[in-house]
Amino acid sequence: MKKRLLITFCAVLVVLTACASTNLRPEVGTKLKSGNVAAMFYMDHKTIDYDELVYKVLWNEKRQQLATFGSFWDIDKDLSNTLANTMGKIGISTKSVNQLLFDEDDYNALRLCIVDNKGPDGKNWPLTLTPGLQKQFKDLDVDYLVVLRTVSFSAEVNSMFKHILMRMPSILIIYDINNGKEEYRELFGMGGGHKYNKSARELEEDGLKQLKKLANQWIATAVEKQFPKTLSLATN
């Protein structure tokens, strides 16, 4: 019986290990820590995707509601700044891309490099910057570009317990400016639980005041808690 339990435990461990995301190679982590970094947050759709399970006793219903905030909140700039500031706190010399690329055309060119990188097979290809952007970053003495790209806010609402599980499912990309090579690409989860009083959409009150506060907190917490391990900084 003990043997069977041990085999089952080992099998579960193997499965869990396979699910865990990989970390940045330690040698790259060392260079990243000693170099200069540009940080960028980018959200594809500026929306909150509410998904709700409504309890109807004899059946349950799944309902969906989109809330589009679009240009109402410059989330990319706001969260790029938070990403850069928090990376600074954990010892990485970082500037937000908004502090480096003042020209709107340059910023849009960078955005396009990040968004339009699907190959003919429909899969994402490694990030490649245009020669112009590459040179610009080199001239600014930037060694690495760190990109957090997310699709939208996902809000899973449980109407029975007045609880929302908020998520910003993201991809973390690390690009070596000097070599012109993507060094890292992995899923990176951020988010947390939130209680509401009457409506799940209280998050949108006062020009998204609550959501802005939460999103900034998630980024800061994720960077402080996960980056040292993910970017192999702790081993340096």
Interface segment toward other proteins; rule CB under 8 A; list 10-18, 33-41, 51-59, 173-181: 51-59
Binds other proteins (CB under 8 A): choice among 23, 28, 31, 69: 69
Closest C-alpha to 74, from 221, 212, 184: 212
Q: How far is the CB of 155 from other proteins (least distance, A)?
A: 8
Q: Which residues pair with 146 in a beta bridge?
A: 39, 174
List Cα–Cα distances, 218 to 61, 144, 153, 202, 221, in angstroms: 30, 23, 12, 18, 5
Q: How far is the CB of 76 from other proteins (least distance, A)?
A: 16
Handedness of CA 148, 152, 153, 157 (dihedral sign): negative
- Phi, psi values for residue 166, rounded to 5°: -95, 140
Closest C-alpha to 187, from 226, 217, 218: 226
Binds other proteins (CB under 8 A): choice among 75, 142, 146, 157: 157
Interface segment toward other proteins; rule CB under 8 A; list 6-14, 32-40, 90-98, 203-211: 203-211
Interface segment toward other proteins; rule CB under 8 A; list 114-122, 125-133, 140-148, 154-162: 154-162
Binds other proteins (CB under 8 A): choice among 27, 61, 74, 224: 61
Closer to other proteins by CB, 69 or 186: give it: 69
201 binds other proteins (CB under 8 A): yes
Whether 190 and 170 have beta carbons less than 8 Å apart is answered as yes
Closer to other proteins by CB, 52 or 106: give it: 52
125 binds other proteins (CB under 8 A): no
Residues 6+ apart with CB under 8 A from 56: none
108 binds other proteins (CB under 8 A): no
List Cα–Cα distances, 159 to 49, 58, 107, 134, in angstroms: 15, 16, 41, 49
Binds other proteins (CB under 8 A): choice among 32, 38, 39, 50: 50
Binds other proteins (CB under 8 A): choice among 3, 4, 56, 123: 56
Whether 204 and 211 have beta carbons less than 8 Å apart is answered as yes
Binds other proteins (CB under 8 A): choice among 7, 54, 115, 234: 54
Contact set for other proteins, span 29-48 (CB under 8 A): 48
* CA–CA dist 42, 56 (Å, integer): 38
Q: Which residues bind other proteins (CB under 8 A)?
A: 48, 50-70, 72, 155, 157, 159-160, 162, 196, 198-201, 204-208
